[in-house]
Amino acid sequence: MKFSPIRRASLLAFAAALAVAAAPAAAQKKYGPGASDTEIKLGQTMPYSGPASAYGTIGKLHTAYFKMINEAGGINGRKINLISLDDGYSPPKTVEQVRKLVEQDEVLALFQTLGTPPNSAIHKYVNAKKVPHLLLATGATKWADPKNYPWTLGFNLSYQAEGTIYAKYLLKNKPGAKVAILYQNDDYGKDVLKGVKDGLGAAAAKMIVAEATYEVSDPTVDSQIVTLQGSGADTFINITTPKFGAQAVRKAFDSGWKPLHIINNVSASVGSVLTPAGLDKSVGLLTLQYYKDPNDPQWKDDPAMLEWRAFMGRYYREGDPKDASNLYAYLTAQTMVHILKACGNDLTRENVMKQAANIKNLKLPLLLTGMSLNTSPTDFFLVKQGQLAKFTGTQWQGFGEVLGTAD
Amino acid sequence: MATPSSAHTTAPAALNRGQMLGLALVFAVACALPFVVSNYRVFQFTLALVYAIALLGLNMLTGYNGQISLGHGAFYAIGAYVAAILMDKFGVPYWLTIPAAGAVCLVAGFLFGLPALRLEGLYLSLATFALGVAMPQILKYKGFEHWTGGVQGIVIVKPDPPEWLSLTQDQWLYFVVLACLVVLFVIGWNLLRGRIGRAMVAIRDQPIAAQVMGVNTALVKSLTFGVSAMYTGIAGALGAIVIQFVAPDTFTIFLSISLVVGIVIGGLASISGAIYGALFIQFIPNVADQISKAAPWAIYGVFLIVFMYVMPSGVAGFIRIIIGRLRQRRQR
């Protein structure tokens, strides 16, 4: 699982190939709004205040990361200037701030605007204005719709893709499974559910024996678990947010059901879900991961992890090295830098979008081994793969191959 | 003895010549504004005007009638959703949704005002607070999801200006909102300085005396609630059209609190105060954000305290005192 020198070499070779590819473009320089000989202006909104302010660390890490890039000479000699504004996770504020970024600050592109509701509010606007709306920090599936929204490209493994991968895993490893599904009754829950059903395909009608839903306002999901258990299912796909995830894990164990239990990534946090549920009751849970977990001891001496930790110590000391959001933010910043480098000296909004839609086999070292990022003009799903992980009682342990939606 | 500061306890009087001139000047500046600033700034000023309408509504209830509402964001949300649903699901033109939102909120406010009659002071503010807190979750309720779009909300198409006008969409919306504001302010001004306005103030200051004088306290209070909700609902509808998007997370309790902040900063029981308050809640958070990224709300808090300390009767009261002092000096 360690990072082999061969992989390192192939990465270097890849980077070199990129540099060569970019070279011919150096002949003529083209600039769109927000780009010049000395600067590349990016914009983002982040919930530095409000209900989702825990995610604000992502924007802070980006600022620190670009500072590091700039100190090392920037991108082809141009410094990245990230204008990161607070929207408090409030859609109207996002609209206001994004209009400021686009109309007043004239940024070249938007980068990692966070949250589904805030991004929904600006989706039409940025596409009408033809501003690259890149690497959105949300898992909703609608961000990959190049036909209707050619300027929007998300980052996260989509909820549907996650569901599909669970389904593919079951088809391969437990084709006779009798599946029970619990999901949160909103767009997120339905998104994952749709992925599962699409993944199972024709087998869905036969394999899914029970479905139950809950509302975010429900006190517990105990009765739903009992109902699902009563259906005789031997496999349980748990599509819940942390509080309900913990309840479901505990109840599924305490009731003596003990199915093959798949819990979605949203609720895979050891600290906020499995610990309150009981670590002993969580043994054997499955989930999906796509980047390395900073708390997983198997990556303790991983070169990519060491590099990240060094960065955290040097440029972002106030950040929490246990918080996976900081690793996620590092990955997304690297992806953005990759796109900007690929643009060469043609820094127009059209070319930024073109490069973002033509990422080929980008293997970032903090992604799980064997994974790569890919897009094409007709496919805006950047992350399409993940690896299943099993909970050992103390941590998640990845196993098996990297799985994709296409497999 | 008539001191200048006693003015804010009574209903607004008729305008004198100087005030007329001043108003005409302000209106002229307001009309010229969208042609001298960028579209983004026009958008911000449009939002400020929207807030001004909402604040006038809340000020009628809280400033003039003494009923404290901590949940007016709920009526703003209802107005916004009425406009969004009518436009999105029924293809109603945007300008028709504005009176529709007002009508729905008038009824909703009146109905909420009826039981609220039994609640006085802080108890009423808690009841309205409950309404404000509940609203985002009510909007996410799955029974309504077909209409409200659930957590995802509704995206609205931005209205185009009529073809014979060479305005941008932002400038056009600004004038639409400005026109609504002028109409609503004139209505509000007429309402507040007349019989009803006096009854409202009387109920606030001396409820028993008002009743003895023959004021139908229950009716006036409920009606005030209704009209106040109507103003706020119209603002909500305009806000939705300007933002082009509604979602439950837009209408958190913080919106309600911001509205209360707006009327207190602007000046309780003052019509012009609604404008000052709106400018405050629209622009001060941005200023605070520019001063400190790390703790913008702490800076905002400092602004609040300074404003309250320097202008205890709000910006409107402060301006009134300044004008009064200038007059006195001239008379000497």
The two tokens of residue A5 are 């020198």
Residue B94: CA count within 13 A, CB half-sphere: 21
Q: Which domain holds residue B45?
A: 34-252
Q: What pLDDT sits at residue B283?
A: 93
Q: Is the pLDDT of residue B10 over 70?
A: no
User: Residues of B with CB below 8 A from A50's CB?
Assistant: 254
Q: Does the beta-carbon distance from B289 to A86 stay under 8 Å?
A: yes
pLDDT band per the 50, 70, 90 thresholds, residue A143: very high
User: Residues of A with CB below 8 A from B84's CB?
Assistant: none
Q: Which neighbouring-strand residues pair with A247?
A: none
Q: What pLDDT sits at residue A1?
A: 44
What 3-state class would DSSP assign to A152?
strand
Q: Report the distance separating Cα B238 and Cα B249, nearest Å.
A: 18
Q: Which neighbouring-strand residues pair with A376?
A: A379
Among A109-118, B50-59, B319-328, the range with the most confident prediction by mean pLDDT is B50-59
Q: Is residue B265 part of a domain?
A: no
| Ranges A15-19, B178-182, B194-198: which has the least confidence | A15-19
Average pLDDT for residues A30-47, to the nearest whole number?
94
Are B317 and B311 in contact, with CB atoms under 8 Å apart?
Answer: yes
Q: Is residue B298 part of a domain?
A: no
| Ranges A363-377, B11-25, B224-238: which has the least confidence | B11-25
Write a three-state SS string for A285-317. CEEEECECCCCCHHHCCCHHHHHHHHHHHHHCC
Q: Report the distance separating Cα B56 and Cα B262, nearest Å.
A: 10
Q: Where are the alpha helices (DSSP H) in A72-139?
A: 91-99, 116-129
Q: Is residue B149 part of a domain?
A: yes
List, in order, residues 6 or more apart from B266 with CB less than 8 Å away. Answer: B55, B59, B272, B273, B274, B275, B276, B277, B278, B280, B314, B315, B316
Q: How far apart are the first and last CA of chain A?
A: 21
Q: Does the beta-carbon distance from B152 to A123 stay under 8 Å?
A: no
Q: Report the distance separating Cα A389 and Cα A164, nearest Å.
A: 16
Which member of A88, A95, A188 has the closest CB to residue B245? A95
Q: Does the beta-carbon distance from B152 to A117 stay under 8 Å?
A: yes
Of A364 and B120, the structure prediction assigns the larger pLDDT to: A364
Q: Is the pLDDT of residue A297 over 90?
A: no
Query: Phi/psi of residue A97, each to 5°?
Result: -70, -40
Are B34 and B23 in contact, with CB atoms under 8 Å apart?
Answer: no
pLDDT band per the 50, 70, 90 thresholds, residue A241: confident
Q: What pLDDT sits at residue A248?
A: 95
Q: Which DSSP string do the residues of A230-278 spell out, in sequence order? A: HTT-SEEEEE--HHHHHHHHHHHHHTT---EEEE-GGG--IIIIIHHH-
Q: What pLDDT sits at residue B1?
A: 36
Average pLDDT for residues A242-253, to the nearest whole number?
91
Instruction: Please give the DSSP secondary-structure letter assigned to residue B61.
Output: I
For the stretch A314-323, pLDDT in tens is 999 999 888 8
pLDDT band per the 50, 70, 90 thresholds, residue A10: low
pLDDT band per the 50, 70, 90 thresholds, residue A7: low
The angle, 0 to 180 degrees and rounded to 10, between the axes of the packed helices B296-310 and B273-291 is 140
Which member of B245, B254, B297 has the closest CB to residue A91? B245
Q: Does the beta-carbon distance from A86 to B296 stay under 8 Å?
A: yes
The angle, 0 to 180 degrees and rounded to 10, between the axes of the packed helices B314-331 and B273-291 is 110
Give the best residue of A49, A53, A142, A145 to mutate against chain B (max B CB count within 10 A): A49
Exposure b/e, A41-57, CB count within 10 A at least 16 = b? bbbbbbbbbbebeebbb
The two tokens of residue B287 are 């200023």
B252 reaches A (C-beta below 8 A): yes
Q: CA Rg, chain B, in Å? A: 20
Which member of B155, B243, B289 has the closest CB to residue A92? B243
User: Residues of B with CB below 8 A from A187's CB?
Assistant: 150-152
Q: Is residue B320 part of a domain?
A: no
B168 reaches A (C-beta below 8 A): no
Which member of A48, A120, A215 has the closest CB to residue B153? A120
Instruction: Give A306→chain B minimum CA distance, Å.
Output: 28
Q: Is the pLDDT of residue B64 over 90?
A: yes
Give the best residue of A48, A60, A89, A114 to mutate against chain B (max B CB count within 10 A): A48
For the stretch B141-193, pLDDT in tens is 777 878 888 777 888 888 888 888 888 889 999 999 999 999 999 999 999 98
Q: Is residue B14 part of a domain?
A: no
Of B272 and A242, the structure prediction assigns the larger pLDDT to: B272
Handedness of CA A196, A202, A206, A207 (dihedral sign): negative
Are A159 and A141 in contact, with CB atoms under 8 Å apart?
Answer: yes
Burial class (CB in 10 A: 0-12, 13-18, 19+), A114: buried
Q: Report the distance separating Cα B248 and Cα B151, nearest Å.
A: 6
Query: Phi/psi of residue A385, each to 5°?
Result: -130, 165
Instruction: Give B142→chain A minimum CA distance, Å.
Output: 8
What letter represents residue A186's amino acid? D
Query: Phi/psi of residue B157, each to 5°?
Result: -80, 140
Are B85 and B267 in contact, with CB atoms under 8 Å apart?
Answer: no
| Ranges A50-54, A67-71, B29-33: which has the least confidence | A50-54
Q: What pLDDT sits at residue B290?
A: 83
- CA angle B92-B95-B101, nearest 5°? 80
B295 reaches A (C-beta below 8 A): no
Q: Is residue B303 part of a domain?
A: no
Q: Is the pLDDT of residue A15 over 60?
A: no
Q: Does the beta-carbon distance from B142 to A216 stay under 8 Å?
A: no
Q: Is residue B275 part of a domain?
A: no
B128 reaches A (C-beta below 8 A): no
pLDDT band per the 50, 70, 90 thresholds, residue B140: confident
Q: Report the distance separating Cα A174 and Cα A184, nearest Å.
A: 25
Q: Which neighbouring-strand residues pair with A24?
A: none
Q: Report the distance separating Cα B244 and Cα B240, nearest Å.
A: 6
The two tokens of residue A192 are 């994952």
Q: Report the distance separating Cα B59 and Cα B228, nearest Å.
A: 8
Share above pLDDT 70 across residues of chain B, in percent, rounded to a whole number: 95
Domain count across chain B = 1
Q: Is the pLDDT of residue A48 over 90?
A: no
User: Residues of B with CB below 8 A from A89's CB?
Assistant: 249
3-state helix, strand, coil in chain B (%, to 5): 80, 0, 20
CB pairs under 8 A between A and B: 80
Q: Does the beta-carbon distance from B247 to A120 stay under 8 Å?
A: yes
User: Residues of B with CB below 8 A from A117's CB?
Assistant: 151-153, 247, 249-250
Which member of B40, B142, B155 has the closest CB to residue A120? B155
Domain boundaries, chain A: 5-157+300-376, 159-289+389-404
Which member of B249, B296, B297 has the closest CB to residue A91? B249
Q: What pLDDT sits at residue B6?
A: 40
For the stretch A148-191, pLDDT in tens is 999 999 999 999 999 999 999 999 999 999 999 999 887 788 89
Which residue of chain A has the CA closest to B44? A96
Among A23-37, B9-23, B252-266, the range with the most confident prediction by mean pLDDT is B252-266
The two tokens of residue B272 are 């012009």
B289 reaches A (C-beta below 8 A): yes
Instruction: Give B294→chain A minimum CA distance, Å.
Output: 8
Q: Does the beta-carbon distance from A120 to B245 stay under 8 Å?
A: yes
Which member of B43, B243, B249 has the closest CB to residue A89? B249
B239 reaches A (C-beta below 8 A): yes
User: Residues of B with CB below 8 A from A116's CB?
Assistant: 151-152
The angle, 0 to 180 degrees and rounded to 10, between the axes of the packed helices B273-291 and B253-266 is 120
Average pLDDT for residues B238-264, to the nearest whole number?
92
CATH class of the domain whose range is A5-157+300-376: alpha beta
List, in order, residues 6 or more apart from A383 with CB less than 8 Å away. Answer: A155, A156, A157, A158, A161, A290, A371, A373
Torsion of CA B241, B247, B251, B253, to 10 degrees: -170
Instruction: Please give the DSSP secondary-structure letter assigned to residue A376.
Output: B
User: Residues of A with CB below 8 A from B38's CB?
Assistant: 103-104
Q: What pLDDT sits at residue B149?
A: 80
Average pLDDT for chain B:
89
Question: CA separation (Å) from A17 to A10, A353, B140?
Answer: 10, 20, 50
Q: Is the pLDDT of residue B4 over 50?
A: no
Q: What pLDDT sits at residue B234?
A: 97
Question: CA separation (Å) from B247 to A127, A399, B118, B180, B224?
Answer: 20, 40, 32, 24, 28
Q: Report the distance separating Cα B13 and Cα A11, nearest Å.
A: 78
Those residues of chain A whose CB sits closer than 8 Å to some CB in chain B are 48-51, 84-86, 88-92, 95-96, 99-100, 103-104, 116-117, 120-121, 123-125, 185-188, 215-217
CATH class of the domain whose range is A159-289+389-404: alpha beta
Average pLDDT for residues B121-125, to the nearest whole number?
87
pLDDT band per the 50, 70, 90 thresholds, residue B8: very low
Instruction: Give A174→chain B minimum CA distance, Å.
Output: 34
Q: Which neighbouring-strand residues pair with A153?
A: A134
Q: What pLDDT sits at residue B153?
A: 84
Give the best residue of B50, B88, B245, B292 to mutate against chain A (max A CB count within 10 A): B245
Which member of B40, B245, B293 has the closest CB to residue A99? B40
Exposure b/e, B81-97, CB count within 10 A at least 16 = b? bbbbbbbbeeeeebeeb
* Cα Dmax for chain B: 69
Q: Report the distance separating Cα B298 and Cα A223, nearest Å.
A: 44
Which residue of chain A has the CA closest to B241? A92
Which residue of chain A has the CA closest to B236? A92
Of B153 and B8, the structure prediction assigns the larger pLDDT to: B153
CB count in 10 Å sphere of residue B116: 20
Instruction: Give B66→chain A minimum CA distance, Å.
Output: 30
Which residue of chain B has the CA closest to A46? B293
Are A243 and A218 in contact, with CB atoms under 8 Å apart?
Answer: no
Q: Report the distance separating Cα B47 and Cα B283, nearest Å.
A: 10
Query: Phi/psi of residue A233, each to 5°?
Result: -70, 150
